[in-house]
Amino acid sequence: MNNISHAYIFLGAEDETTKEALKLAQIANCKNSQMSPCGFCNSCRKIQNDVHPDVVHVYPEGASIKIEQVRQLILDLAEKPVEGNKKLYILHQAHTMTPQAQNALLKTLEEPLTESIIVLLSSNLKQLIPTVISRCQIRDFSQEVKPLISINTRQSIANLLLHIVHSKKISELGALVTQLSETDEKAEEILEFIISLYRDVLVAKTNSSVAFINGDLESIIYKFAAQLTLNAILLSIEVASEQLKATKSRGNQNLIWYNLLMGLEEVV
Ligand SMILES: [Zn+2]
């Protein structure tokens, strides 16, 4: 009970993460502290049947969770739990939150909540803003993700990026751009990999109890984590995500690699 944080991101499919969020609500509110969640006390059963007044679901209205919904949630937070110890707010498809909604939520995440827990359910960490991510504890319930790119390619790209982190100033930018553009895989796949790599570095840095996506690159991941601040890691994810977006609208791959490397150099 004391280990419960005030804000979480549960990564994975909607069904699975909803189930886990309800389990968390049971743990936080179970009447039998010895064996929580017991599954049979009044509180556990109400949560199981989804009729507990202190479990609040927030769903996207239309395509997104809007700032008005988050404002309502913040107003709600000021109220005490109706019958439990903790109120649990479950934001479904949290990645659909508009940037305004995420920024509104951010202020709440910065202040410790004593009687509430916010759980963001999402299958897509990339659409959440880094400052929101950094204030939540991440739990990964997604199926094991298999990297698309071969270990050799991933290793050489990881080493190339680590080189930037170590040297802080790129002297042979042109050569690195060439190296990236000569990789056989599609730019999108490489960028997806780079994002997953920095996501693993984030996991290492925050000592999260989450498995690495690139478990075979563990030793490199820890080298990154030792060199980069939390903020630099989050900014690196942002830089790579921006270039991933650019691959969809822009044809020039060299420009993408150039911008990526310059961006990554800037944040270290
Ligand atoms: Zn119980």
pLDDT, tens digit (0-9, with 9 covering 90-100), for 140-185: 887 655 667 888 899 999 999 998 888 867 777 888 898 898 888 8
- Name the 3-class secondary structure at 32: coil
Has residue 2 got a pLDDT over 60? no
Determine the distance separating the centroid of ligand 1 and the alpha carbon of 73, expressed in angstroms: 26
Domain membership of residue 146 (yes or no) is no
Residue 198 belongs to domain spanning? 151-267
Do 209 and 245 belong to one domain?
yes
pTM over 0.75: no
**Co-location of 83 and 135 in the same domain:** yes
Asked if 122 and 196 touch (Cβ cutoff 8 Å), the reply is no
Distance CA 157, CA 136 (A): 29
Residues 91, 30 share a domain? yes
**Does the structure show a pLDDT above 70 at 111?**
yes
Residue pair 7/131 in contact (Cβ under 8 Å)? The answer is: no
Does the pLDDT of residue 209 top 80, yes or no? Answer: no
Asked if 14 and 132 sit in the same domain, the reply is: yes
Residues 109, 234 within the same domain? no
Indicate if the pLDDT at residue 121 is higher than 90. Answer: yes
Whichever domain contains 213, its CATH number is 1.20.272.10
DSSP notation for 81-128? PSSSS-EEEEETTGGGS-HHHHHHHHHHHHSPPSSEEEEEEES-GGGS
- Ligand 1 centroid–CA 38 distance in Å is 4
pLDDT digits (tens, 9 = 90+) for 20-73: 999 999 999 999 877 778 888 999 999 999 999 999 999 999 999 999 999 999
* Mean pLDDT, residues 133-141 taken together: 88
User: Which pLDDT value is given to residue 221?
Assistant: 96
pLDDT at residue 107 tops 90:
no
| pLDDT in the model for residue 219 | 95
Average pLDDT in the 193-214 region?
87
Residue 233 has a pLDDT of 93
The SS3 assignment for 171 reads coil
- Residues at Cβ < 5 Å from ligand 1 ion: 30, 38, 41, 44
Q: What pLDDT does 1 receive? A: 44
Distance (angstroms) between ligand 1 centre and the Cα of 27 equals 7
124 with 170, same domain: the answer is no
